[in-house]
Amino acid sequence: MKNKTRGTLAVIVGCMMGALSAQEFQVHPATQDPSVLVTLDTLKTWEEDLTNWRRWGPDDQRGTLNLITPEKTRQAAALVSEGITVTLQHFVSDERTIDANTFGDYSHTMSRLDPVTGEPTFALDEIAYSLHDGMLSHLDALCHYRTEIDGRYIIFNGYPQNLTASGCEDLAIDRMGTSYVTRGILVDIPLMRGVDYLEPSTPIFVEDLLAWEEFAGVTIGSGDALFVRTGRWARRDDVGPWRYGQGGAGLHASVLPFLRERDVAMLIGDAVNDVQPSGVAGINRPIHQLTQVNLGLPIVDNGYMQEVAEVARRLQRWEFMTSIQINPIKGGTASPFNANATF
């Protein structure tokens, strides 16, 4: 499929990572309201209107992470008053469930075994898992999604998507820096609505983000890491695993201009960020598509927000310092989301 204008919405693709049929789940009717309805034509317009291509120069490979400036880091550090730190990461497990081992098998073995008895002879081990596993909090590299221009696959900032057997040549996770400290803002939609978690396919709109700002007394701003809690992990604990990648609560595509206007540096969801189904005919993950390809906004899937939500609710504080460490996997399409929140 060719198009001589910027972006065919990535091979309407939305991707190979989630454009599976969502027969079990219905599009939420609220996404079809004319006041928020987003179409492929809308997205094509936003590809140009919301772009950050060349904003930080033709060779930039960090995108909106550039918004985490030394001054932003100093401001974030000043938020620490209680000295309470909690994790923002959920790690892979050996569960064989519908939402685990989704892109490759997890294994953990001892690597020094007696050739006769098979018993470990030393405390050394090996681990293997998919960086995009459904149980793993992971930061997507900006090479993860693509668009198509004149028959060529293009990624953020106009780079061609050159994939090899060893990974991405440009915009890989090792090109995005290794350490960031910034202000984290938790948007806890279930708390605001007085429920434990949102039901599958519940969309979150700009009006919800604005209502949260008023509820929490915070204003989402430039360089912030935005954590949007739907309660995915709480629901899993309550009712068990489900195909959250086909039927999950999340942001509706109409939020994209808000993310660009507020200059969010990193977007973290506790599922796949996009409401599923997306409610946009023809593409199932428009948030993924435009944040990564056009805004250059790195996103985290499967972020763990249970502990931070509990502390924030107890302290009545929904802003905190977040420290993020990126594993510089050469050519990698993602990194485990190694991050903490400190109040």
Q: Which amino acid is at 317?
A: R
Residue 108 lies in a domain: no
CA-based nearest residue to 202, from 151, 248, 157, 240: 248
Structure tokens at 181: 């400290």
- For residue 79, give the CATH number of its domain: 3.50.30.50
Q: What is residue 5's predicted lDDT score, i.e. its pLDDT?
A: 36
Q: What is residue 9's predicted lDDT score, i.e. its pLDDT?
A: 53
Q: What is residue 17's predicted lDDT score, i.e. its pLDDT?
A: 37
- Helix (H) or strand (E) run with residue 261 in it: helix 256-262
Residue 266 lies in a domain: yes
Residue 159 lies in a domain: yes
**Whether the Cβ atoms of residue 278 and residue 247 lie closer than 8 Å to each other:** no
Residue 251 lies in a domain: yes
Residue 249 lies in a domain: yes
Alpha helices of 182-222 — where are they, by DSSP H?
189-193, 206-216
Q: What is residue 172's predicted lDDT score, i.e. its pLDDT?
A: 98
Provide φ and ψ at 122, rounded to 5°.
-160, 160
Q: What is residue 40's predicted lDDT score, i.e. its pLDDT?
A: 98
**Whether the Cβ atoms of residue 297 and residue 259 lie closer than 8 Å to each other:** yes
Write b or e for each residue in 101-112: b if 16 or more Cβ atoms lie within 10 A of its Cβ, otherwise e: bbeeebeeeeee
Work out how many domains the chain is built from and give that number.
1
Residue 117 lies in a domain: no
Burial class of residue 2, CB neighbours in 10 A (0-12, 13-18, 19+): exposed
Q: What is residue 24's predicted lDDT score, i.e. its pLDDT?
A: 79
Q: What is residue 23's predicted lDDT score, i.e. its pLDDT?
A: 46
Residue 24 lies in a domain: yes
pTM over cut 0.75: yes
CA-to-CA separations, 131 to 22, 49, 145, in angstroms, rounded: 23, 32, 15
The domain of 23 spans 9-95+133-342
**What is the rounded distance in angstroms from the CA atom of residue 165 to the CA atom of residue 161?**
13
**Whether the Cβ atoms of residue 190 and residue 330 lie closer than 8 Å to each other:** no
The whole-number mean pLDDT for each consecutive block of 10 residues of the chain, a chain of 343 residues, reads 40 38 78 98 98 98 98 98 98 92 91 92 94 97 96 97 95 97 98 98 98 98 98 98 96 98 98 98 97 98 98 98 98 98 98
Residue 284 lies in a domain: yes
